[in-house]
A and B are shown apart, each in its own frame.
Chain A
Amino acid sequence: MLNAFIANFQKSWIEFKRYYFNTISGLATVLIFFYLIFFGIKAIGGSTMDFGNTLEGVIVGYFMWLMFIFSFQGVAWGIIDEAQRGTLEQVFVSPIAFEYQMLFRMISDFVFNVLFAVPLMYFVSYTTGKQLNFDLPTLLYLLVIGTVSALGIGMMLGGIALVFKRISSFIQIITFGSLAFTMFDLSKLWYRFLPMSQAAYLMRKLAINGTKFYQFHFLDHVILWSVAAIYLAAGILVFRGFEKRAMITGTLGQY
């Protein structure tokens, strides 16, 4: 298992290097899109707007959203990409189940995403003049546990991609829909059971009030972990269902 994880991590790193132009342009897009949102909101409403509560909240919400979409899109696009390349079946014939391979890739991608997202978050807070109170252990705790629910969504989309292949429009819908999860006013409890929302809610407490992970209410931890567990379990179940379907219909490698 460790070797499989290392292999997937190394592959992510190799592809990141080989497709460096794509990586750099992706980062540039992230920043441009952020500044458009940030200065747009500032121009029309300033810090009193409800959208994401405050401009500080917008920064946090935006990066939570990025982590969320990078995580679930990584899986789905990964499967589509492999089906197009023709390597998907070759990975499937490994004795280590494909869902583990996906999980290892998601963890690898997550590490790369964190390595980019955290410095970017500091960068934008500096360039926008908004001081954010980041306690790094709390930040990583929320990113890791929060992203688990995104991985669950990613596995669901990955499963759907195995059977239907061309699901890019569906992924776009989920992507924009997910913006709401991290930008909503999360004072209502049930909103926080949406994927990643509880993490975004606690992240805002961290960013704005400086609340550290050991200062969160016990119920907040329970919701955070429960949301992660529920979406991951659902993701695995849905993925297995679609995987079996693709194996019965013999469409695993088709695109």
Chain B
Amino acid sequence: MIRVENLVKTFPKKGSKERLRAVDNISFQVREGEIFALLGPNGAGKTTTLKSICGLIIPDSGEIEIMGISVLKNRGRALSNISVVLEGNRNLYWRMTPVENMAYFAGIRGKKLNRSEAADILARLGLAEKQNEIVHKLSRGMQQKTAIAVCLAAGTKILLLDEPTLGLDVNSAVEFRGLVKDLQNQGKTVLLSTHDMNLVEAVADRVAIMNDGKIVVCEEKRKLIDLFAARGYKIKLVPNGTTEEKLAKLGFSEWNKDGNVVELHLNLSSARELYKIMEDFKLNQIEIESIEKELVNFEKIFISYTNGSH
């Protein structure tokens, strides 16, 4: 559905002749019907990538295709296949109602929104009662739903959401995750740009982690979690006075000491490594109290990739 190939975008640095590589030769594809997340810290290049896809930024080089149509060569036709919710809560006309916003944004795309279609979308999003209220009187969560309603009114198969949970309270953010899943169930393809790992963990099928303008990993979310889950171990040891000295001797550099327990967190590439460590501990008379497989959340995966420890 979306193909990004060798995308590069640089911006001039303030007070310097150098250029900042906001997006550094990235490639990825978004497949039909999936929720694809671009995850990364602030300044990673996610929004620049998203804005390049929706034709708001002209890249230095590379190719972007939406349903086989080049955004750079045939912007209008390519954009007719996507609708976008851009970052922030100012992407709607605040002095207009949700219905008026939907009708306007559908209209400027050349589409006439009929009443029953608008009513159906608003009902699905739980906005039916708010349809005639001016947007600036709605809560942040309702405003974000209205932005989604505007997207749905366009009737496109692909939705691009830039930082969609930014500024939402916890309840609204949780509700929003369900909403994104619903979009997928309605047959939509969703490209998310976010730094909200809870959102990614809850809804994404595939994830591209961006850092410093590059994609450091692009993989199915499940595989990423499995990969890390297989490696994470928490080993508790019973200290006997020389335990820490022995650990240092065996090459360990980090552990936590909590009362009568020394705790080690290990990332191992295979079970064989674990057996080797157990053998070393036995030889050095380090008493093991317990070994637990650690639960892995997306935060750990993200940090591992973005700080270069992976």
Interface residues, chain A, CB within 8 Å of chain B? 1, 3-4, 6-8, 10-11, 14-15, 18-19, 85-87, 89-97, 101, 244, 247-250, 252-253
Contacts and interface: CB of A to CB of B under 8 A. Distances in A.
Given A87-B90, A95-B77, A4 B56 contact: no
Interface string B268-288: 000000000000000000000
Contact of A91 (B11, B48, B54, B108): B108
Nearest to B80: A95
Contacts of A95: 75-80, 109-110
Given A7-B103, A14-B100, A253 B58 contact: no
A94 B79 contact: yes
Contact of B109 (A6, A94, A247, A249): A94
B149 interface: no
8 contacts: A3-B107, A3-B111, A6-B107, A93-B82, A94-B79, A95-B76, A97-B76, A253-B56
A67 B58 CA distance: 36
The 10 closest A-B pairs by CB, nearest first: A7-B107, A86-B90, A95-B80, A95-B79, A95-B76, A247-B58, A94-B108, A250-B57, A18-B95, A90-B91
Given A6-B107, A96-B108, A250-B57, A90 B95 contact: no
Contacts of A253: 56, 86
- Sort chain B's interface into a size bin: 35 or more
A253 B55 CA distance: 13
Candidate in A19, A87, A94, A248 with the most chain B CB atoms within 10 angstroms: A94
B57 A96 contact: no
Nearest to A247: B58
Given A94-B79, A95-B78, 6 more contacts: A6-B107, A15-B96, A95-B75, A95-B77, A95-B79, A95-B110
Contacts of A87: 90-93
Interface in B82-132: 82-84, 86, 88, 90-96, 100, 103-112
B104 A10 contact: yes
B91 A10 contact: no
B181 interface: no
A86 B56 contact: no
Given A85-B90, A85-B94, A86-B91, A247 B110 contact: no
Given A85-B90, A250-B48, A96 B109 contact: yes
Main secondary structure of the interface of A (DSSP, over half): helix
Contacts of A10: 100, 103-104, 107
Contacts of B58: 244, 247-248
Candidate in B77, B83, B104 with the most chain A CB atoms within 10 angstroms: B104
Contact of A3 (B56, B75, B96, B110): B110
B110 A4 contact: yes
Contacts of B111: 3
B51 interface: yes
A1 B57 CA distance: 24
B165 to A, nearest CB: 17
A106 B94 CA distance: 21
Given A247-B56, A247-B57, A250-B57, A11 B109 contact: no
Given A3-B110, A4-B110, A89 B56 contact: yes
Interface string B57-73: 11000000000000000
Contacts of A93: 54-56, 79, 82-84, 86
Interface in B27-75: 48, 51, 54-58, 75
A115 to B, nearest CB: 21
